[in-house]
Amino acid sequence: METYDLVIIGGGWAGFNAALEAKKLEKKVCLIECSQIGGTCLNQGCIPTKVLTNFAKKTSGGLSQGLSLFKKEKENTVSTLKNGMEFMLKSQKIDFIRGTAKIISQDKVLIKEEKEEIGAKFILIATGSRPKDLPFLKFDHKRILSSDDILELDSLPGNLLIVGGGVIGCEFACALNKLGSKVTIAEILDRLVFMFDKDISQKLEQVFKKLAITVNTGYDIKDKDLSSYDKILLCVGREVNFNELFESKAGVETDKNGFIRVDDKLKTSVSRIYAAGDCTGGLQLAHVASYEGRMAVNNMFGKPRSVDYSAVPSSVFTNPELAQVGMNQEEARNKVKNTKIIKKFFLSVGMAHIIKETDGFLKLIIDSDNNTILGAGIIGPQATELINTLTVAIKYKLTLDDLKDLIFAHPSISEIFTETIQS
């Protein structure tokens, strides 16, 4: 039986980056993936959906026939990135096994197809998540669709209901509306993208209504007549993505929703088994999964450090884009004695006029007592890129005074920072 320093189950962003990190530490690594390298992010999530978003932006007047051009572009992009990942594994001499893993114990994993056992000094579970349906509305993958299904359609839905007005629902609503579908969003909460500040949610809803996207908030679809919609896309969350991963004696604890319990070092209830990414039920973002994969490896092999989620950017690729990092306004007011808000609109930025995208604003949430930047929210052009600069500011607890002498290139969208800081 071959034994590895680390056996990783799941080849998505957490598992892949964990494998590379372990090789940096000169460990013998095996990565097991039952489906496609790259996991949800590369194959059904971040990358394909952003190809769709970009394709919709470039397409004038929608599509009269099918989605074949989009699917070709998506497949080319995914294939290129997938080949790159596989090349990196090979060049780093990381053993890559396509197969279904079962954890027998904290130091032994079974490859089901091969009926072969391998040894492990440590195990990392990075099996990800999958789209969730509703008790009264189950995926049939024909009319009732998941976010995976919608990317495989051969023709646009004529009349589409999107159930869920979070990040995924809003991104699909924007792209498919641009391509020519009649889109309705049904959100059970009182506003879209509820994790963002209220003024950003309200602005997005205003934009959607101008685009003729019907938005129903505070709306429960249960017992409603949905017969007028030819397709229904469920964007109501995700659930843990493993079946029969454990022998009962493995002893890894899960929470009430089936996600794996981990401590602040990403260790499970079993001392030599760690978990990272969506399967832990935390922040289900690809960049967080990548970070957790690297952190777990360092915690295994003698460089212990607790995870820190204080400066995690969130991005929504609608048009206009949304992004935030750090505390939102409500959270800051609950945690910090004195706060202030500084807001600047893109109307004041020259480049925004040049590219004809002046809608939206940047807001900074500040600790009034020491001028530290606690959080930031953006709705507007290139928000998903701009937020990364503010991530650095919040991570390192910078103040407005620290940033006042920065010089940004002119004309650029980034000048919104200096406009806001100098306010």
Active site members: 410
Helices 13-24 + 68-91 axis angle, to 10: 20
The phi, psi pair for 241, rounded to 5°, reads -115, 60
* Preceding omega of 135 cis (within 30 degrees of 0): no
Please check whether residue 326 is in contact with residue 365, taking contact to mean a CB–CB distance below 8 angstroms.
Answer: yes
Instruction: Give the Cα separation of 307 and 283 in Å (integer).
Output: 12
Kindly give, in sequence order, each residue whose CB lies less than 8 Å from that of residue 259, ignoring residues fewer than 6 positions away. 240, 279, 280, 281
Helix (H, G, I), strand (E, B) or coil at 103: strand
Instruction: Give the Cα separation of 196 and 323 in Å (integer).
Output: 8
Kindly give, in sequence order, each residue whose CB lies less than 8 Å from that of residue 219, ignoring residues fewer than 6 positions away. 186, 187, 188
Instruction: Give the Cα separation of 390 and 192 in Å (integer).
Output: 23
Taking CA atoms, 380 is separated from 78, 189, 364, 393, in Å, by: 28, 23, 14, 20
352-388 b/e (C-beta count within 10 Å ≥ 16 → b) = beeeebbbbbbbbbbbeeeebbbbbbbbbbbbbebbe
Taking CA atoms, 61 is separated from 57, 177, 350, in Å, by: 10, 10, 28
